[in-house]
Amino acid sequence: MTRLFGTDGVRGLANETLTAPLAMKLGAAAATVLTRERSSGGRRPTALIGRDPRVSGEMLAAAMAAGMASKGVDVLRVGVIPTPGLAFLTDDYGADIGVMISASHNPMPDNGIKFFSAGGKKLPDDVEDQIEAAMKELAETGPTGTGIGRVIEEAPDARERYLAHLKEAVQTDLAGIKVVVDCANGAAFEVAPKAYAAAGADVTAIFNTPDAYNINDGSGSTHIEQIQAAVVEHGADIGLAHDGDADRCLAVDAKGNVVDGDQIMAILATGMQERNSLQDNTLVATVMSNLGLKIAMREHGIELKETAVGDRYVLEELGRGEYSLGGEQSGHLVVPAYATTGDGTLTGLLLMARMAETGKSLEELASVMQVLPQVLINVPVSDKAKIMDSPKVQEAIQIAEAELGDSGRVLLRPSGTEELFRVMVEAADEEQARKVAGQLAAVVAAV
């Protein structure tokens, strides 16, 4: 049977596969599981619910709140907030459960539900499995009278608490840095510009007027060309592009050149190494990171630990070794000293702080790493599970690896959130990478 939870919570087409009744049931089951071993301490369990601005979030947040309240959990709805803000607030309010309603960088019709435990930490697989199991065993009725949870519709100070946290985390004065920020008409439309301005930067915000329907629409980190053009137009020092729930950040230098998550990690890792704050001289990244990152880290005496694709695997490795920096090429970076999950606004602050501290441009800082040509093709498929079992796909991989030799690599993997299979090829020559990737993608599409 297909698992309800994917690599980043539960996602689907809102009101078709991800419905209000499903959200209500998920809320009731999560309330049951996540408060099972809780010591009451004289108060009822509490949950925080946040969302991005997409229209279906209003419906799903209401259903989630109803499901949780039906199991005796008090719910505080914090409105539109970035995912990392919701994670922070879960800890800051001392809540037992955090829920973020967002499909991140996915198109507006999609939505998703992410859960956080006390302390603002993502759930391990086994706890998600318990929630799925609990959904099948839910009683039709719950507590009555005073046992029913309360739902408070709006936390008046939620965004202010999160902004204060960001200001405390990065105290470097950013005066003199001119930044353009693409908010993707998403959850950071208010928070990101305010956080950058509070740190002293000269801020121009674009795509910062969400209307419930325009999230990620031709904007944000998945449409980097918008911030490239805007940086050049405004004569800015740096551009920052977030996704719909603002757990990602990609950058653009003053010339409009993209600085991706790998390069940002290289910049921050070498800076932390200089300050002796890079635990065990180790950076955590996924197998999708560019070979250039591995080479750059080796040259600086920094060990690169690789994980499977997905921020949960990066988080697990960070926790296992108590490391201080990790992330993904997509711009999803985690700095455990300040956040329990990826935080795009924090990443932007740290990157600009490095510029301010060194007096170097983003282009100069990014030169710490040479990006090798990397081609990624997303292939729509009807059944992700059968791709790697195909003899034709295996044969195509062997042929590709033989052609590339030691100068490149091939990586095929299913998307964790969409019906896509990702084909990635790296090579010393971009033309060769494109050719090999195209050949592999054609084989995958034919399966």
* Contact status, residue 380 vs residue 420, Cβ threshold 8 Å: yes
* Active-site entry in 56, 104, 289, 330: 104
104 is annotated as an active-site residue: yes
Q: Please indicate if the annotation marks 361 as binding a ligand.
A: no
CA 216 to the chain's CA centroid: 14
* Contact status, residue 105 vs residue 220, Cβ threshold 8 Å: yes
Q: Please indicate if the annotation marks 406 as binding a ligand.
A: no
| Residue 41, Ramachandran bin (φ over 0: left; ψ between -120 and 50: alpha; else beta) | left
The CA-based angle 390-395-397, given to 5 degrees, is: 100
Q: Please indicate if the annotation marks 247 as binding a ligand.
A: yes
Number of H helices, E strands in the chain: 14, 19
Tell me the C-alpha distance between 262 and 75, whole Å. 38
φ and ψ at residue 29, rounded to 5 degrees: -70, -45
What percentage of the chain's residues is helix, strand, coil (to nearest 5)?
Answer: 40, 20, 40
Q: Please indicate if the annotation marks 110 as binding a ligand.
A: no
Residue 199 CB coordination number (10 Å): 23
The CA-based angle 244-320-125, given to 5 degrees, is: 55
- Residues tagged in the binding site annotation for Mg(2+): 104, 243, 245, 247
- Active-site positions read 104
- Residues tagged in the binding site annotation: 104, 243, 245, 247
